[in-house]
Amino acid sequence: PHLRHTVPRPRASLGPDQKRERKESREDKQRRIDAAVSTWFSDTMALAEKLAEEFDMKPKYFHDLFFQGGGRMVIHQATVNPYNAFKSEKVAECRERGEAKDATQLHEDYFDEYRNLTDKEKDALV
């Protein structure tokens, strides 16, 4: 960290007029934000209703698209890790047999099997 060679001076406290002005400014800004968000929300709900009627669907479908759809915008992993694909297959096999294993147990039980796979077999997993 940066060492100071001087002792910092305490800031002068704000006077009552300045405090009141800042408080009013903050409250006004928050009111404007709340109004803008409320307008956006109302418009979005109205659009969901309109699209629901237009496409003969329920508004909830469009609510989900609008509000849960952010996951579609996330950049997804371009390639799949072969070990994760291998573990995924092993999880499916365990479920079919009625076994429940956590990630640690899967690693302990099947890592040697994964390590013995050839590169060609690992590529086939993905």
Q: What is the pLDDT along the chain (126 residues), one digit of tens a residue?
A: 677 778 878 888 989 999 999 999 999 999 999 999 999 999 999 999 999 999 999 999 999 888 886 666 666 667 788 999 999 999 999 999 998 888 899 999 999 999 999 899 988 887
pTM score, two decimals? 0.47
Q: Rounded to a whole number, what is the distance in angstroms from the first to the last CA of the chain?
A: 47
Question: Degrees (nearest 5) of the Cα angle 107, 108, 114?
Answer: 55
How many distinct structural domains can be found in the chain? 2
Q: Are residues 40 and 65 in the same domain?
A: yes
Q: Are residues 27 and 60 in the same domain?
A: yes
What is the structure's pLDDT at 11? 84
In a domain, 11, yes or no: no
Q: Are residues 35 and 67 in the same domain?
A: yes
Q: Are residues 60 and 20 in the same domain?
A: yes
CB atoms within 10 A of CB 86: 20
Token pair 């890592």 is at which residue?
Answer: 111
Phi-psi region of 8 (alpha: psi -120 to 50; beta: other; left: phi over 0): beta
Nearest to 44 by CA among 67, 25, 28: 67
Length of the chain as a residue count:
126
Q: Which helix (H) or strand (E) holds 14?
A: none
What is the structure's pLDDT at 73? 65
